[in-house]
Structure 1
Amino acid sequence: MIRHFKIILLILTLAFPALSEAQKINQEQLISDIKYLSSDELEGRKPMSEGHLKAQEFIKERFEKLGLSSQYDDFTQTFSFTNRRDGKTYDKAANIVGFVPGSDSDKIIVVMGHYDHIGKNGDDIFNGADDNASGTVAMLALAEYFAKNRPKHSMMFVALDAEEMGMHGARALVNDFPFEMEQVKLNINMDMVSRNDNNELYAVGTYHYPFLKPILEKASTGKSPKLMFGHDEPGSGRDDWTNASDHAQFHQKKVPFIYFGVEDHADYHTPRDTFENIQPEFFKGAVELILDCIIALDTDLLN
C-alpha cells in the first residue's frame, strides 16, 4: 500500500508542472473577484460612492498581498475633475497603481483597466460586470502572475478611475506619470473582456502599430477565444475604437497600445450587465489569451 501511494505521489508530482503551465491564471480567484466587484454591495462603483470606495480598498489590498510596490503612497494617485454632464467636482478620484520591476530593462509596459462604472438610477443598479469589472479583475490576475514570474520589462498595473465620465483617470495618469513617458514601451488596456457569443476577443491598435500584429498572431494561434484584429481604422466612424477607452490617452502621447475588448452586447450600459450574464469559460480563456500575448510582447519587444 505504501509503495502504491509513493507511485501515485510521484505521478502527481511529475504532472503538476504541466498542469501549472496549462493554467497560468488562478481561475477560481478570477470568477470570485468579478462576482464581488459587480455585486449589488458595490452599487455600480460610481466615483466617490460607498461602493466605489470599497472597490478601491479591494484592489489596494490585493496589490499589497501580492507584494507589489508603487510610485504612489498607499498605491493611490489622487486627482480632481469636474464632470461636464452634472457640473459636479470630484476632488478625491483615485487611480490605484502597482508596480513590478523588470529583470532586463528600465522600459515599462502599462497594463490597465478602469474600475468605475455608472452607479445607480433610482432602484436600478448598473453593476458593470463586463464594463468593466472584467477588465479590472483581468488586470489583477495578470498582476498576480507577473508578481510571481518576473517580467523582462517593468510592469505598471493600474485600476483607472472615472473612465465613464470622460477618461479622467487615464488623463491624470499620463499627465502626472512617475517616469519619463519615453520609457513606456507599450500600453495594454482591457475594457469588456468577459462575454461574446461568437467567442471572439479583439486586439485593437495594430493598424497604428503594425509591428505588434505578428507577435500577437503567433501568441494566439490555436487559442480560444479567437483573437481578432480591426476596429482601429481611421474614417470608420463608431467602428473605430482607437479613442473609445483609456488607451486613447497613451496613443495621444505616441505610446503604442493594444486594447483588448469585445463588441458591444445588448446589456451594455444597462442594469442587465451583471455577474449572472458573463460567460465564465469565455472570460477565463480571454484572460489566459491576454496573458499569453503579454508574455510574448514582453519577450519580443526587447529583441
Structure 2
Amino acid sequence: MNNLIRILWVIFLLTPLICKAQKIDEEQLIQDMAYLASDELEGRKPLSEGSLKARALFKDRFTELGLTSQYRDFTQYFSFRNRRDGKLYENAANIIGFIPGESTEKLIVITAHYDHLGRQGDKIFNGADDNASGAAALLAFASYFIENRPQHSMMFVALDAEEMGHQGAKALVADFPFPLDHVVLNINMDMISRNENNELYAAGTYHYPFLKPLIQKVSEGRTPNLLFGHDEPEMGRDDWTLASDHAQFHLKGVPFIYFGVEDHEDYHKETDTFENIQTDFYINAANLILDIIMSLDKDLVQ
C-alpha cells in the first residue's frame, strides 16, 4: 500500500509538468489558422489591410510569449518590384522572433510565409493550406520553445511575399543579423494541412543526406506518413528544391528541410479555405514536425 501511495503521489506531482510539456496547443493552432484564412484577412496580399492584420497577429503573439528580436518591433521591412505587374511594393515586412539557445550560438531558422494571393474581383483567395497552415504552426512552435528552451538559438520568421518570388526570404538572407554560417538548418513549412493519402513530404535530404537518418528515427511509424523526395534535379517541376522560401537558404549553402504536401485540387484557387483542411492531418503533421525539430536541435549540437 505504501508503494501505491508513493506512486500516486509521484503522479500527482508530475501532472502539472506533464501538462506543461504538452507540445502543441491544438485549439490555439486551429484558431490561428482559421483567423489567418478568414475572409477578414482577404487573402493576405502584401501591403493589404489583411496583410497588416496578419503582421499584427505575429507581433502581438511574439510579444505576449516573450520572444526577442534583432529587428525593431519584430519587423524587417523591405521593398521589391513585382515582375508580373511592375508594381513597386514598399514596406513589405517579415515578422521575426528569436529565442536564445541553451548550449550553442548556432541557429535553426524556422520559416513559413504568411502572404497569399489576396482578393481578385469578387473572389477571395484565402490560402488556408497555402500557407495559413505553416504560419499558424510557426506560432505554435514559438510557444513551445519559449517554454522549453532549445539547444540552438531559434529564429521564427513569418515571411512576406513568397507568392511574388520569395521576396521576403531574399530580403532575410540579404540582411541576416548573424553570419549565415551560424545557421545549421532552415526548416520551412508551406502547405501542411491536407492530403488525401495521409502523406507529408520532407524535401531536402537529397542535397543534405546527413539529415535523413535523423528524421527517419523520429518519423517511423508516425502519422502522417512522412516521405522523402521532391528534391532531385531530374524531377523537373516535381523538384521542390527552389519551390519555396527555403530556396534562398539553399542557394547560400545552408541545409534545409521543406515540409509540405503535394498540390491538391484547391491549390491557388478560391476554394483553398479553412473548411477544406483536414484537421486531424494538420494537427498530426504539426506535432510530427515539432518532434523532428526537437530531435534535430539535440542531434545537430556540435
Do they fold alike, i.e. is TM over 0.5? yes
Q: Does 1:34 align with 2:33?
A: yes
Spell out, residue by residue over 1:120-157, the C-alpha distance to the aligned partner (whole angstroms, 9 max, x if none): 11110000000000010011111110010000000000
Q: Which amino acid aligns with 2:280?
A: E
| Aligned equivalent of 1:160 | 159
Give the corresponding residue for 1:213.
212
* 1:59, distance to aligned residue in structure 2 (A): 0.8
Output the amino acid matched with 1:53: L
For the residue of structure 2 that corresponds to 1:52, the secondary structure is helix
Match of 2:107 in 1: 108
Partners of 1:11 and 1:42 in 2: CA distance: 47
Shift of 1:16: 3.0
Report the equivalent of 1:228.
227
* Mapped partners of 2:109, 2:38: distance in 1: 27
In the TM superposition, what whole-angstrom CA distance separates every residue of 1:16-69 from its partner, at most 9, and x where no partner exists? 368648841000000000000000000000000101100000110010011000
**In the alignment, which residue of structure 1 is the partner of 2:261?**
262
Q: Distance in 1 between matches of 2:19 and 2:117?
A: 37
Counterpart code for 1:119? G
Alpha-carbon spacing, 1:188–1:30, altered in 2? closer, same or farther (3 Å): same
Q: Which moved more, 1:241-250 or 1:23-32?
A: 23-32
Distance 1:300 1:17, change over 3 A: farther
What TM-score do you get using the length of structure 1 for normalisation? 0.95
Gaps of 5+ in 2: none
1-structure distance, mates of 2:134, 2:143: 14
Percent identity for Structure 1 against Structure 2: 67
* Whole-angstrom distance in 1 between the partners of 2:155 and 2:261: 23
The equivalences for 1:102-141 within 5 A come to 102-141=101-140
Q: 5 Å matches for 1:228-247? A: 228-247=227-246
Distance 1:30-1:86 versus aligned 2 partners, 3 A rule: same
**Cα distance, 1:235 vs. partner?**
1.6
Q: Which amino acid is 1:43 matched to?
A: E
Q: Distance in 1 between matches of 2:12 and 2:237?
A: 52
Displacement of 1:10: 5.9
Q: Distance in 1 between matches of 2:16 and 2:73?
A: 35
Q: State the one-letter code of the partner of 1:201.
A: L
**Structure 1: distance between partners of 2:138 and 2:291:** 14
Q: In the TM superposition, what is the alpha-carbon distance from 1:13 to its structure 2 partner?
A: 3.1
* Aligned residue type for 2:264: H
| Cα offset, 1:234, TM superposition | 1.0
In the alignment, which residue of structure 1 is the partner of 2:203?
A: 204
Amino acid at match of 2:165: G
Shift of residue 198, structure 1, vs aligned partner? 0.8
2:164 is paired with a residue whose SS is: coil
For 1:74, the equivalent position in structure 2 comes to 73
Where 1:210 maps in the other structure, the secondary structure is coil
Distance (whole Å) between structure 1 residues aligned to residue 19 and residue 294 of structure 2: 16
Paired residues, number: 297
For the residue of structure 2 that corresponds to 1:109, the secondary structure is strand
1:173-193 superposed Cα distances (whole Å, 9 cap, x missing partner) = 000000001100000000000
2:174 maps to which residue?
A: 175
In the alignment, the residues of structure 2 paired with residue 85 and residue 10 of structure 1 have an alpha-carbon distance, to the nearest angstrom, of 65
Secondary structure, counterpart of 1:87 in structure 2: coil
* Structure 1 residue runs of 4 or more that deviate by more than 2 Å after TM superposition: 9-23
CA distance in 1, matches of 2:27, 2:120: 31
Structure 1 letter corresponding to 2:128: A
**2:247 maps to what in 1?**
248
> Secondary structure of the residue that 1:164 maps to in structure 2?
helix
Q: Distance in 2 between matches of 1:69 and 1:15?
A: 30
Give the 3-state SS of the residue equivalent to 1:105 in structure 2: coil
SS, match of residue 219 in structure 1:
helix
Task: Look up the match of 1:89.
Answer: 88
Aligned-partner SS, 1:235: helix
1:52-67 paired onto structure 2 within 5 Å: 52-67=51-66
Q: Give the match for residue 288 of structure 1.
A: 287
1:43-54 paired onto structure 2 within 5 Å:
43-54=42-53
User: Within the alignment, does 1:147 sit opposite 2:146 as a pair?
Assistant: yes
CA deviations 1:216-266 (Å, max 9, x no partner) are 000112211111100001121011000000000000000000000000000
